Each structure stands twice: as structure tokens, then as C-alpha cells.
Amino acid sequence: MSTAAAGHHEHDHDDHGPAKGWTRWLFTTNHKDIGTLYLWFSLVMFFIGGGMALIIRAELFQPGLQLVDPLFFNSMTTMHALVMIFGVVMPAFVGLANWMIPMMIGGPDMALPRLNNWSFWIMPFAFTLLLSTLFMEGGGPAGGWTLYAPLSLQGPDSFAFVIFAIHFMGISSVMGSINIVATIFNMRAPGMTLMQMPLFVWTWLITAYLLIAVIPVLAGAVTMLLTDRFFGTSFFNAAGGGDPVMYQHIFWFFGHPEVYILILPAFGIISSIIPTFARKPLFGYASMVYATGSIAFLSFIVWAHHMFTVGMPLAGEMFFMFATMMISVPTGVKVFNWIATMWRGSMTFETPMLFAIGFLVMFTIGGLSGLMLAITPADIQYHDTYFVVAHFHYVLVPGAIYSIMAATYYWLPKWTGNMYDEKWGKIHFWVSTVFLNVLFFPMHFVGLAGMPRRIPDYSMQFADWNAVATIGAFGFGFSQLIFVWVVLKCVKGGEKATDEVWEGAEGLEWTVPSPAPYHTFEKPPAQFS
Amino acid sequence: MSDLQRDHKLVSGKLVLLALGMFAFGYVVMPPLYRVICDITGLNGRTNSVAAANPEGQAVEDRTVTVEFVSVVNSSAAWTFTPTQRTMEVIPGKTYKAFYTAVNNTGRPAVGKAVPSVAPSSAAKYFNKIECFCFTKQEFEVAATKEMPLIFFVEPDLPRGIDTITLSYTYFDTGETPVDLTDS
């Protein structure tokens, strides 16, 4: 994305544009450059992970084995998840944080710019390592993205590369998070209190703490897998006195906060967009902050709802069931606040707002199926079926992914200085939304009927809805090309954007010129002091 | 500016410590903690892995509990491992003896080990083994057969709601050879 500054200046300290040539991107410490790198990286990975999803759906178009062998199918489901979670949603949020947080709090850059460069450039290496396992002897990991022992330990030796890739991604995330926390605490405009920060900054602050707390736990879990597989330890091997169920506990102690890592920044984005297009301030700002904090806290005490079927005592199942249901209270507060913000607002429906409302409606559908899954006796029926697949795709695709697209359309004019093509943006939204529901809604039906997940073949009674879902998948996948085209077109040119861009927009990022100059807020804004 | 640098160092230093602490929590603290919690609560059907003392207190003559014996061979079919009896009716507080039989079909001298699990897990802490082949490893010559004993009792204060206890053993090939064992 072009962030070219107005002219080429001397490389003195106060005012200089980007370095020339491609090494600009390699050596950059500018938060906008690094944000751009993260966003492009995540877009590329989105199509790689999406391609894997289409292989999965193509195989599932009809019962029987048609296209790929079962082991490769399983490595596709595993890789699809790892790529989409660690390669798409997380880097995209970090990219948005890099771009927007310094501008939203009136700071000149991130707190630790060189660390910032490093956190990004680890990612391409990590994913090259991860994806290269598909071409190694024995293939890539095929035991599911959760890498449950003992199954994951029975795979090929390429498993070591998967573990190192996860270590690298983790190091990158932790460094990025430390940088974000330091930025938010130390770089705010003079006089800006924590409770004056935009909600996107708040949600990222809490997300960064979650990342720092749980990514090292994942690193510990996969290190145990590594030593079990290659160095003769028995953490998860019952023959040596270990316990495979312990892996699930440790993994989900990471995994459940991870779920909120994937959605809290989305809450922040939606809380920025809805007030703009409803032309009203956000309803219940303080309650939004407290709700985010409560969700983050609760996320640490609900992990075992992913493993109701391992044979926990009744008291444990009850505790995790009720704690899980409790999360719907702060989440409900948020949904209520967004609706109240729109209530009697003078709303317009530009593309970012369409994606935000799409988020609101469809994320709530995913939340409701989550409540169904939280009910222990019901979950024992739903466990590992397509109902679960439908649930987490409803919270992640129209949840996390839609929020990222909403954010892209919302801030793209600020990044590029050009308005995107509104007509094609709206077409992108409607085509995506129709196909998305064709893709994921039938999964509820086959799941409730008992179709297991991560299986390349299925019995005949599931055939019709699977065929429908596959049609939806290809429609949704190819409609993302519209998104790429709209973004590229906007980068190249278009109607010039004003500084404010949106009529109802509030916040410091709209006070700087469009496109945002290479350096912003070298002198802090005055309105808070 | 140097003030700001110091603030950055302070915040990031604390956060690095937090990250390292969480890694230590995951890698060093959690596995032993998990084991302790499972031993105390019987979670996961964990039963005693060292010999229990003989039962104390009165046997409860007015009820019987069905103990079912189950066997699983881990990963490959190279072993035959079966309980000699499928079920037993036991009176809580009395000791009983049961047998499992293992045959080494691996075609090499091998060492095996059994890992027990009790279901329902709420019964695990009331199920005590005084003597068990699962406390040790077994050495086998090629195609050798062993009948392996187990002496157990069910505690008299087993909750009334439980009338069936399933004892499952999974048999593992430890990968060692008997020579390794005598050497060590």
C-alpha cells in the first residue's frame, strides 16, 4: 500500500519520508510500514488458507473419496486452521494495531520500533517453515490444529518443523504485544487518560495482556510435545507415567483465551465503526471497557468446556458449564450497547457499516450456538460434529474476518488518501454474506444430525447439505477476489479522500491528512492537556 | 527522551518477566500440579500407583459392587492382553484377587507395562490395589505368557450411588529389552 510522503526530504531527524528501494520494507521501523506489511502478509495467507478450505470442501462435495487421500485431507484441515488463526486473523489485528494505535493515541510511533520490525519479519519465516512440511516426507501435521497427544506424536518427523514454526509465531506475537502495551502506557498524548482512549486501543491493550499470558503456555505445551516425540520424555505418554488428557488441559488453558484474542480487537473495531455511521457517540463506553475486561478474565476459567467428553467429575462439568454461560453476560452487554448506539441514529450504510452490522447479526448467531455447546449434556451429543464447525466459523468468519474487512474499508481512505469503490465494496459485502450463509448454515444441520468433523468421507444422508455448503464455499472464496480488486484499485487511485473521510467520524486519526503522512504526531496533539 | 526510554524498558521488562513466568507455569509447574490434583481427586480415573495398605474398618456386608475388568493394548497388536475374569461381585471392605494374562507376540524379548484407569472417575479414590502388576514392569521372552495378579479392595464408604466400577488396564510396550533392564 502506498504510504508515500509528500516529497523526498533530507534524512534529518525531524522530517523524512520512507527510504528508497525494496530494502525500505526490510529495514523499516515505521509503524505504518510495518502495519502495511502485516496486512499484506495476512491477505496472502488468507488466500493460502482459503485454498486449503476449498480443497476440503471440494472433497466433501460428495460422499466417498474423490480428490485427495485421507491423510492429505487431514493435513488440510490442520493447516487451514493454523494458517487462518496464526497467519491471517492475528497478523491482521497486529497490522491494524500498528497502523492505528499510535495515530489514535496521538503518539509518533510504536514504543519499540526495532522490535516491531523483528516481530513482523519472523512471521514469513515461521510460515515458510510451517507450509514447507506439506512437501516433506510423510506430509504435514494431520492431527488437527490442536495437536492433541498422542495422535500428533505419531506423525512424521516434519512435526519438529511445525513446533518450531509455532515457537516463532509465538515469539512474534509476544514481542508485538509487549510493544503494544508499552506504546499504550507510555506514548499517549499528554493528558489523555486511559478512559479517554478509543475502544480499539482498549480492546488491544487487554488482548495484548492475554497474548503475553497464554502464548508462552502454548510454547510450553508444544515443547513438551517436542521432547515427547524426539527426546524420550513422557509428559503425555501413559506408558511412561504421563497423561494425554493433561495435554488437552494445557492446550485449552492457552486455547480459550486465544479465542478471545481473535475476537476482542474485532469488538474494538466495531465499536469505532458503528458510532461513525450512526452519527452518535458509542453507547455505554465505560461498560464496554469493563465488559472487555470481564470477558478476558472469564476466558481463563472456562477452558475445560472444550473437553466435556474426557470424563470429568460432575462438579467440574457444572463449574465449566456455568462459567462459560457467564461469558454471555458481558458479551450481551456489548451487543446491547452496539444496538443502542444505532438506536435513533441517523444511519447510513456505507461498506464498513454493512460489514459491522453483518458482524453484529452473524457473530450473535455464532454466540448462540456457543451457548448451546456450553450446555454439558447437549455438548456430549454435539462434540466433534459439524455443529461445532458451524459455531466457530460463525464467530470467526463473520466475526473476526468481517471486522478486519470492515476496518480495511473504514481506514483505507486514511491509509491511501483515496476513496475505495463504494459500489464494488457493497457488492463484495452482499455476495460474501449470501455465500457465507450458504456455506456455514447447513453445517448446523449436518452437525445436529451427527456428521463428525475432520472426516474426508461421510454417510449418504449428509450428502445434500454438504453439496450446498461446498457451493457456498466456492462462492465465498472467489468473492474475496472482489475485495483484493477493490483494495488494489483504491491503492492505485480514485476519488481523493478528505482528512475526516467520514462525516460522523471521531478520533485523532481523522485529524491528520489523508493519506496519513509517513510521520504523524511528532508534536503531540493539544486537546487533552 | 531518556525518561521515555526508561519507561519503555520498565514496561517491557515486566512484560518479558510475565511471559517467562507463564512459560515456566506451563512447562514446569502445570505437569506436577496436574498429577497432584489427579491423585487427590481421582480425576481421570487415576488410582494409586503404589501399594495400598490392607483395608481398615468393617466390611459392608449388605451391598455388593460389580467390578468389571477391561483390557486395552496400546497402538499395535503385538501383544495379547486379557483379563482372566470379566467381572466380579465384591463386598466393599474385603480383599479380592484377580488375574490378567499377557502374551508377548512381538517376536523379540520385550518389556511391558500396564497403566490402570478406573471409571467412573468418582470411584477412583475408593478403589485400592494392595498388590498389582501395574506397579512394576514385566520382562518377557519371545512368545512368553504371564499370568499377572492383582489384589484389591473397594473402600466401605464408596458412595451408594455407584454399583459398578470398571477397571481398565492399557498395556504398553516400553520399547526396552529385558537386557536393558538388568543392566540398569
Q: What is the interface pTM, i.e. ipTM, of the complex?
A: 0.86
Measured CA to CA, the distance from residue B117 to residue A474 in angstroms comes to: 47
**What span, in angstroms and rounded, lies between the C-alpha atoms of A70 and A67?**
9
More confident residue, B57 or A226: A226
Is the pLDDT at A314 greater than 90? The verdict is no
Q: Using a CB-CB distance cutoff of 8 angstroms, which residues of chain B are in contact with residue A112?
A: 8, 12
Instruction: Find the catalytic residue in A38, A121, A145, A411.
Output: A145
Residue A2's pLDDT is: 45
Query: Which pLDDT score, from 0 to 100, does residue B77 have?
Result: 59
Highest mean pLDDT out of A146-160, A269-283, B26-40, B153-167: A269-283
Question: Would the CB atoms of B115 and A212 count as touching at under 8 Å?
Answer: no
Confidence bin at A6 (pLDDT 50/70/90): very low
**CB within 8 Å of A439: residues ≥ 6 apart:** A57, A393, A469, A472, A473, A475, A476
A221/B8 Cβ within 8 A: no
Confidence band for A310, pLDDT divided at 50, 70 and 90: confident
Q: Is A108 on the interface with B (CB under 8 A)?
A: no
3-state helix, strand, coil in chain A (%, to 5): 70, 0, 30
Confidence bin at B45 (pLDDT 50/70/90): low
Q: In this predicted model, which residue has the larger pLDDT, A403 or B123?
A: A403
pLDDT band of A315, cuts 50, 70, 90: confident
To 10 degrees, what angle do helices A70-82 and A113-132 make? 170
Q: What is the mean pLDDT of chain A?
A: 93
CA dihedral sign, ordered A459, A461, A467, A468: negative
Cβ pair B23:A220 closer than 8 A = yes
Catalytic annotation present for A331: yes
Max Cα distance, chain B (Å) = 82
Say which CATH topology domain B46-173 has.
Ctag/Cox11 (Pfam 04442) (2.60.370)
Q: Is the pLDDT of residue B42 over 80?
A: no
Check if A80 is active-site: yes
Give the pLDDT score at A18. Answer: 85
pLDDT one-digit tens code per residue, A331-344:
999 999 999 999 99
Q: What is the per-residue pLDDT across A172-190, written as a single tens digit (0 to 9) for each?
A: 999 999 999 999 999 999 9
pLDDT of residue B137: 85
Comparing A361 with B50, the larger pLDDT belongs to A361
Supply the pLDDT for residue A391. 97
Q: What pairing do the DSSP bridges indicate for beta strands B65-73 and B164-173?
A: parallel
| Cβ–Cβ gap A217/B7 under 8 Å | no
Instruction: Say yes or no: A430 contacts chain B, CB-CB below 8 A.
Output: no
pLDDT over 60 at A15, yes or no: no
Looking at residue B176, its pLDDT comes to 77
B contacts of A182 (beta carbons < 8 Å): 7-8, 11-12, 15
pLDDT single digits (tens) B20-36: 999 999 999 988 888 88
Among candidate residues A99, A121, A252, A260, the one labeled active-site is A260
Residue A10: per-residue pLDDT: 41
pLDDT greater than 60 at residue A13: no
- Percent of chain A at pLDDT > 70 equals 97
Give the pLDDT of residue B35: 83
pLDDT tens, residue by residue, A458-485: 999 999 999 999 999 999 999 999 999 9
